[in-house]
Structure 1
Amino acid sequence: MKYIALVLTLLAAPVTAQQVPQSAAEVQMSFAPVVKQAAPAVVNIYAKIVREVRATPLQSDPFFERFFRDTVGEPKPRVQNSLGSGVILSADGIVVSNYHVVGMATDIRVVLNDRREFGARVLLGDEDSDLAILKIDAPDALPFLPLRTSDTVEVGELALAIGNPFGVGQTVSSGIVSGLARSGGSGGRGRGYFIQTDAPINPGNSGGALVDMAGRLIGINTSILTRSGGSNGIGFAIPADLVAAFVAQSERGMTEFGRPWAGINGQALDADMAGTLGFDRSGGIIISGLHPRSPFLNAGLEVGDVILNVGGAAVNTPLEMIYRMSVTGLGAQAEVTYSRDGIEQSAMVALIAAPEEPPRDQLTLAKQSLLPDLTLARINPAVISELNLPLEVEGVAVLNVGPFAARTGLRAGDVIIMLNGVPLNHPSEAAAILSGEVRRVEMLVQRGAQRISIRFRG
């Protein structure tokens, strides 16, 4: 009987330890209060993009175009519709969405949760960050979401994704923050630092809100990692801190996002590299190159230093570093901690735009040139940043190829290093050589990491 009593006691223990729900609120967990607070500030966005559709690619060629004009007609405009979401950030109608939703649109309509509809205009957009700030004019104050400081977001927090997937209407899905400091993966849009979530995100959710349990905006849903086209539980959101930086610049009247320029080449210091170089730990960014006008060089950093954190936040990839600089903002200074010979040091780095020094001296070649309408520029930090060129590149940059240079194989973004054996440093030097007096031309061109030779006769 003692053994029977002991068994009954053990079986009964877990039951007696549980708390019996005392109210309906304890029985039913619901996201409804958060949704009721946040949903009115999430909008549907319908954008129209007009593109020219050509019957044949040869219609784009200036030589063959005239042969097809009479047979297939002029290129026809085609309207493409883009569907996405957005978030109202202020009572006076500031809205944030993704650049890939509205960036190239000719007509933008914003539909509120209460079915009111307004036209919208883009104030500021940036394709690299995949963000755009819009303005709608409403007669009354609009509901909006407050922004939450991104560094307070933690992995494991509950999160809600609100948007308009597949155009079915406003939809809410729940999940958790499943990762931070993500690069977006192979399926991500934009470049930089993302919050990862397993809340289901599908096409149409782009530009929608990722909110916490207090109804605050922690990110803008931008992409998913998928092989099937549907949500597999890995979605990416742009942090609210970067959204705040965009809003601040739009309020200053900027139409393009001003991103601080680092002027460095660097890569993540992984375990293998750390062991090879004699570092006692991995993490951080090892500097492999510095532009002469780099603000990091001016602050005293050198090749071989390892950048550990920017503004008090650890950085482990160049994209994380650029994100930290971007949210701090142009014109400010950021404290940078770095390691040199195993000793940690710090420096204040000025956050500047890529300087236009020396002047780019942009030049478009004359009609009588061998390559008329070819537009060239002297290389400086601003041109390097604009065209994503290597820091150490020399020559003249191609900004626009024009009709004839395109047929030689030259592309916008190329750098002409040498022309007929003459090294180039200024667009005027190329203009003189291509003045029309020469009939045979040989170019040494750098395209990305490759060097190619282009030959043609005038």
Structure 2
Amino acid sequence: MRILLIFLMVFCTSLSAEEPRVPTSTTEIALSFAPLVRQAAPAVVNIYASRVVQASSPFQGDPIFGDFFREFGQARPRVQNSLGSGVILSADGIVVSNYHVVGQATDIRVVLNDRREFSASVLLGDEESDLAILRIDGGEGMPHLDLRDSDTVEVGELALAIGNPFGVGQTVSSGIVSGLARSGTATGNARGYFIQTDAPINPGNSGGALIDMAGRLIGVNTSILTRSGGSNGIGFAIPSALVAQFVDQARAGKTGFGRPWAGIGGQPVDAQLSESLGLIVPGGIVISDLHEQSPFRAAGFDVGDVVLAVDSQPVNTPPEMIYRMSVRGIGATAQVTRARDGVSETLPVQMIAPPEVPARDLHILAKGEVLPGLQVVNINPAVIAEFGLPLTADGVVVQDPGPYAARAGLRAGDILRAVNGDDVESADQIAPALERAAPRIAIEAQRGAQRVLLRFRV
């Protein structure tokens, strides 16, 4: 015991005499996380965002009382505030945070650990991934964190979560990486693939850093699973590999995240399905649908093939595959491993944006036409991806119903099939078809898996 005390005294004395540094051994880690936090904390910032929203009548959109109480109350703008965290990734002030913290904000303030304040603007945001890239106005010589390739992270590694929970100020919590390839489990806007950690994450931690023991960013804290609203030790972080792709696109001048299009539909392979497919171990995604313009079809894939891996990384759910494709980026070539008749092979697949073929040909019905304000487009792969339509969808889709068509019951995403019994196959047919049908109109539309018939008089 006396020898141990002497060792600790000598070790602590040597640490105090040297410059602060990151722990390099398990012995140092056991003593303190302080040197690591001292290095990483200045790059984690608090973000205060606000936006002006227009208050509306509580009866707005109500099919029964909407018209009766149209003038009820005065619509007054109000300021909506949000609080979160962010991570500085470069000396020139590039910051990553969550979309739900800064998305659609009209005023963003970034507060550093040393209490300096800066205004910031969003360069690129994506609600589906729940990520946003910001730039600090006038940022120079900023403290920042390096990115670590999240594919090298292993379950069981120590990790620290740094953020601003509940607005109490910057806080650090420790834990381990509890799981990888978590998909379909996170709450909020984020969808896809996550790193799971038991480091406590609470409201306000969103957008904060999940770092490894070398002070490198491995993920951006985004959400938790909870029943009470507090941390239960099941938190999720967006992997740094996806963050790197966001930064690259933001620096390239993109304002929205470009996600490669697969053009396939599929389902995970379970134990029962694996036997019929000739697989020894369950895994991968069996292709059940394949668009004619899909890059997978062009590479030689077909319905019934099983996608096992993308760039040697196994994929077991559709969100995992889309994540792997997103990390690769549009314009790149991914090496995709498939199984067919029990034989595995790897094929190159081009990562492409969803094609705009045929042209969407936007038509907006003008004032004086039937249903003015109605916006319709031709369906193509880009429209399918935008509205989440089935891969087999074709024809014409409602982009915006406008005030009159919305009152009649049309919604954005409805596929128009016929007007008064006349088939509709292209966007330029809508206005003439409505003109011929007036004043008594019957519109047949497809809404998800349902067919709807809307009858009204104009």
TM-score of the aligned structures, taking structure 1 as reference length:
0.92
Cα-to-partner distance string for 1:337-387 (whole Å, 9 max, x where unaligned): 100111112211000000111100010112233211100000000100111
Q: Given the alignment of the two structures, is residue 174 of structure 1 paired with residue 174 of structure 2, yes or no?
A: yes
CA drift at 1:421: 2.1
Indicate if the aligned counterparts of 2:415 and 2:447 stay in contact, CA closer than 8 A: yes
Q: Which amino acid aligns with 2:109?
A: R
Q: Given the alignment of the two structures, is residue 418 of structure 1 paired with residue 418 of structure 2, yes or no?
A: yes
**Deviates most, 283-292 or 266-275:** 266-275
* Cα distance between partner residues in 2 of 1:265 and 1:276: 19
Q: Given the alignment of the two structures, is residue 231 of structure 1 paired with residue 231 of structure 2, yes or no?
A: yes
Structure-to-structure mapping, 1:124-273, within 5 angstroms: 124-138=124-138, 140-185=140-185, 187-273=187-273
Q: Which amino acid aligns with 1:50?
A: V
SS in 2 for 1:36: helix
Q: Which amino acid aligns with 1:141?
A: G
Q: Given the alignment of the two structures, is residue 54 of structure 1 paired with residue 39 of structure 2, yes or no?
A: no
* Cα distance between partner residues in 2 of 1:54 and 1:341: 59
Cα-to-partner distance string for 1:24-73 (whole Å, 9 max, x where unaligned): 44596211011001000000000002111113323899x9679744x623
* Cα distance between partner residues in 2 of 1:37 and 1:372: 59
**Alignment size in residue pairs:** 440
Q: Which amino acid aligns with 1:23?
A: L
Partner of 1:72: 73
* Cα distance between partner residues in 1 of 2:87 and 2:109: 13
Assess, with a 3 A threshold, how the Cα gap between structure 1 residues 279 and 441 changes in structure 2: closer, same or farther: farther
CA drift at 1:432: 1.1
* Cα distance between partner residues in 2 of 1:21 and 1:358: 77
* Cα distance between partner residues in 1 of 2:36 and 2:150: 19
SS in 1 for 2:435: coil
CA drift at 1:449: 2.6
**Deviates most, 379-388 or 441-450:** 441-450
**Deviates most, 131-140 or 24-33:** 24-33
Partner of 2:375: 375
Assess, with a 3 A threshold, how the Cα gap between structure 1 residues 21 and 57 changes in structure 2: closer, same or farther: farther
Partner of 2:85: 85
SS in 1 for 2:296: helix
Indicate if the aligned counterparts of 1:368 and 1:435 stay in contact, CA closer than 8 A: no
Partner of 2:15: none
Assess, with a 3 A threshold, how the Cα gap between structure 1 residues 197 and 21 changes in structure 2: closer, same or farther: farther
Indicate if the aligned counterparts of 2:176 and 2:197 stay in contact, CA closer than 8 A: yes
Indicate if the aligned counterparts of 2:93 and 2:139 stay in contact, CA closer than 8 A: no
Partner of 2:35: 33
* Cα distance between partner residues in 1 of 2:67 and 2:78: 19
Taking only aligned residues, the RMSD between alpha carbons, in angstroms, comes to 2.1
Partner of 1:44: 46
Q: Which amino acid aligns with 1:394?
A: D
Indicate if the aligned counterparts of 1:189 and 1:223 stay in contact, CA closer than 8 A: no
Structure 1 unaligned residues grouped into runs of 5+: 1-14
Indicate if the aligned counterparts of 1:210 and 1:218 stay in contact, CA closer than 8 A: yes
Indicate if the aligned counterparts of 1:395 and 1:423 stay in contact, CA closer than 8 A: no
Q: Given the alignment of the two structures, is residue 22 of structure 1 paired with residue 7 of structure 2, yes or no?
A: yes
TM-score of the aligned structures, taking structure 2 as reference length:
0.92
Partner of 2:18: none
Structure-to-structure mapping, 1:329-340, within 5 angstroms: 329-340=329-340
Sequence identity of aligned pairs in percent?
A: 63
CA drift at 1:331: 0.4
Indicate if the aligned counterparts of 1:305 and 1:340 stay in contact, CA closer than 8 A: yes
* Cα distance between partner residues in 2 of 1:452 and 1:373: 21
Q: Given the alignment of the two structures, is residue 343 of structure 1 paired with residue 343 of structure 2, yes or no?
A: yes
* Cα distance between partner residues in 1 of 2:98 and 2:338: 34
Indicate if the aligned counterparts of 1:364 and 1:374 stay in contact, CA closer than 8 A: yes
Indicate if the aligned counterparts of 1:395 and 1:418 stay in contact, CA closer than 8 A: no
* Cα distance between partner residues in 1 of 2:48 and 2:135: 14
CA drift at 1:406: 0.6
Partner of 1:445: 445
**Larger of the two Rg values belongs to structure:** 1
CA drift at 1:221: 0.2
SS in 1 for 2:245: helix
* Cα distance between partner residues in 2 of 1:212 and 1:80: 34
CA drift at 1:187: 2.5
* Cα distance between partner residues in 2 of 1:300 and 1:21: 68
Partner of 1:292: 292
* Cα distance between partner residues in 1 of 2:212 and 2:186: 26
**Deviates most, 412-421 or 34-43:** 412-421
Cα-to-partner distance string for 1:423-445 (whole Å, 9 max, x where unaligned): 32211112111126522222222
Q: Given the alignment of the two structures, is residue 386 of structure 1 paired with residue 396 of structure 2, yes or no?
A: no
Indicate if the aligned counterparts of 2:49 and 2:106 stay in contact, CA closer than 8 A: yes
Structure 2 unaligned residues grouped into runs of 5+: 12-26
Cα-to-partner distance string for 1:214-260 (whole Å, 9 max, x where unaligned): 00000000000111100000000000010000000011101000000
